[in-house]
Amino acid sequence: MRTTRSRGARLGVLATAAVMVLSACGGGSIDEQTQANEEQAAEGGGECGDLNMAVNPWVGYEASAYVVGTVAQEQLGCTVNYKELKEDVSWQGFGTGEVDVVIEDWGHPDLEKKFFAEEGDGSAEDFGPQGNVGIIGWFVPPWLAEEHPDILDWENLNQYASEFETSESGGKGQFLGADPSYVQFDEAIVSNLDLDFQVVFSGSEAASIEAFRKAEENKEWVIGYWYEPQYFNAEVAMQRVSLPPYEEGCQDDPQDVACDYPETELKKIVGTEWAASDSTAVDLVRNFTWTNEDQNVVAGYIAADGMSPEDAAAKWIEENQDKVDAWLG
- Which of these ranges, 4-12, 263-271, 277-285, 315-323, lies near another protein under the rule CB under 8 A? 4-12
Complex with another protein: residue 110 or 150, whichever CB lies closer:
110
User: Alpha-carbon distance 64 to 318, whole Å?
Assistant: 15
Complex with another protein: residue 16 or 287, whichever CB lies closer:
16
Complex with another protein: residue 25 or 249, whichever CB lies closer:
25
Residues numbered 202-261 forming contacts with another protein, rule: CB under 8 A: 202-211, 213-214, 217-218
User: Alpha-carbon distance 195 to 157, whole Å?
Assistant: 7
| Single-letter code of the amino acid located at 185 | F
Residues numbered 283-302 forming contacts with another protein, rule: CB under 8 A: 302
Q: By CB under 8 A, is residue 319 in contact with another protein?
A: no
Collect contacts of 299-305 with beta carbons under 8 A, ≥24 apart: 299/59, 299/60, 299/62, 299/63, 299/229, 299/230, 299/231, 300/231, 300/234, 301/63, 302/59, 302/62, 302/63, 302/231, 303/59, 303/231, 303/232, 304/231, 304/234, 304/235
Complex with another protein: residue 208 or 327, whichever CB lies closer:
208
User: Alpha-carbon distance 20 to 22, whole Å?
Assistant: 6
Residue 264 DSSP SS3: strand
Are 272 and 96 in contact by the 8 Å Cβ rule? The answer is no
Residues numbered 84-113 forming contacts with another protein, rule: CB under 8 A: 84-89, 92-93, 95-96, 98-99, 110-111
Complex with another protein: residue 125 or 186, whichever CB lies closer:
186
Residues numbered 15-74 forming contacts with another protein, rule: CB under 8 A: 15, 18-19, 22-23, 25-31, 33-34, 37-38, 41, 57-59, 62
Shortest distance (Å) from residue 224 CB to another protein: 10
Complex with another protein: residue 3 or 147, whichever CB lies closer:
3
Q: By CB under 8 A, is residue 121 in contact with another protein?
A: yes
Contact map string, positions 153 to 192, toward another protein, x by CB under 8 A: -------------xxx-------xx-xxx--x--x-----
CA 205 → CA 137, 144, 178, 182, 306, distances in Å? 15, 21, 7, 10, 18
